Amino acid sequence: MQLICKYWRLVGLVLVFLFFFRDAVAAPDFEALEKSVVRIVTKTSQGIGTGTGFVINDRGYIATNVHVIADGSLIKTIPTNSNTLYDVDVIAMSYEFDLAIVRAPGINLPPITLSLAPSRKGQKVWAIGYPGGADRNRPAYDPTVQDGVIGRIFSGAWKTQKFRIIQHNAPTNPGNSGGPLLDDCGRVIGVNTQASLVVIAGPSDGVTRVHHAAGIYWSSHIEELAKLLRDNAISFQSEDDACLTADSTGRSAEAERTKTQADDASQRFLIWIILLGAVALAALILALKKPRQQIIHVAEYISQHLKAKEPIGTVQKRVTEKLPEHGLMLAGFDGNGNPIRIALPPNRFAGQRLGISLGRHPELVNEIIQDQNVSRRHARIAVQAGQFYIEDLNSRNGTFLNHHKLSPFQPMLLDYGALVRLGGLEFRVSKLE
């Protein structure tokens, strides 16, 4: 009886986990990202102003808003978790888009990546910066993080020239201006600029702008910052592939398919739990009437069929995926002429139902290829009926087999001697003895 009670407690915990956390996604690594975010301090005729900026390359270039620095007779920047002030030189400004590029010579901070992938309504976003209200008793040495979603992306203007503006509900306050708006992968998709305002006509004082609606905040779309950087020949790092998190509205077709498979697996698991509960109840009744050996027999019977994932009461032949006799070797060179060898022996594919994925992101693929022309999840090699197949995973620069570009998620037979190109890297496929 105690064993059965423990069993049901475990079942309850598993069900709670599946219900509440099966779609959970890890947030960006803010401890790493905040190192790229700085406070910008200005001396104006009205006192001291504060805003936010973020580092865009390893030469000390920082992006922010024009209105953060425009009235400053003296401009300084302070890195996260530091009280050191660095002098700032203004490099470029766009009053129409309220964007500015400054440089802090001598500052040595990691740059943050810009995302040139399309953003969508409902997408999860994060605002990070230095709101002045967070300075209680003393200045805050680390930035504040707030989350929200994109409400809409529309054509608007800060002044007269129209461009794309992101409306979201990640709270931003005075001091957040110039800070980055991030996606779930920790990449910049916009520059936080304004909260919603309304113009009120006064009886004698003309007009007044006051904060109007809670939950409405505006950011310049990242494409305008990228254009300003290109126009001024300022280097920056960017990615244009979609963020591959499970709850991202912009998930790729492969991520969508993986999510569907996970949902199906959860439903099957739930059915098995119900079936096991019924059998456990039957076993409990049987325990009152039959000897202990009969109970053991029933438990073993259930366990064997559960492990085999076969319907109880039927006999089915378990099919094991046939592995090829020999493995694969992909041999080529990187952009610097250094040799690259990717060895895939047959046992690498054992238990890998979806195959071996290739790309440059260490947490998303099985085999890492360090090249900027290779996507984070670029391609996959799988085994079916003892033969190798290669499949493009909706990569940015494509996967080519014998000079033929593969359609995403359409596996093609991969023979020994074939020529495979991933981005700009070419590999010759040979037999691995």
User: How many whole angstroms separate alpha carbon 72 and alpha carbon 67?
Assistant: 9
Q: Which fold has domain 327-432?
A: Tumour Suppressor Smad4 (2.60.200)
Judge whether 101 and 40 are in contact, CB under 8 Å: no
CA 275 vs CA 69, 175, 314, 318: distances in Å:
66, 57, 15, 21
Mean pLDDT confidence for 258-279: 65
User: For the whole model, what pTM was predicted?
Assistant: 0.52
Q: Tell me the torsion sign for CA atoms 41, 42, 45, 46.
A: negative
pLDDT at 351 (0 to 100)? 77
CATH of domain 30-245: 2.40.10.120
Cα–Cα dist 119/282, whole Å: 54
Confidence of residue 391 (pLDDT cuts 50, 70, 90): very high
Q: Are strands 379-384 and 387-392 parallel, antiparallel or unpaired?
A: antiparallel
Per mean pLDDT, which range of 110-119, 136-145, 229-238, 243-252 is the poorest? 243-252
What was the pLDDT predicted at 216? 87
User: Where in the chain is CATH 2.40.10.120?
Assistant: 30-245
Instruction: Flag whether pLDDT at 175 surpasses 60.
Output: yes
The yes-or-no verdict on residue 348 having pLDDT over 80 is yes
Between CA 181 and CA 204 the distance in angstroms is 39
What's the chain's average pLDDT? 79
Better-predicted residue by pLDDT, 240 or 283: 240
pLDDT of 173 above 90: no
- Residues of the chain within CATH 2.60.200.20 domain(s) are 327-432
- The mean per-residue pLDDT over the stretch 181-190 comes to 95
Tell me if residue 102 falls in helix, strand or coil: strand
- Closest by CA to 50, choosing from 136, 112, 139, 126, is 139
Q: Do 180 and 170 contact (CB within 8 A), yes or no?
A: no
Identify the H or E element spanning 396. none
48-72 average pLDDT score: 92
Model confidence at 300: pLDDT above 70? no
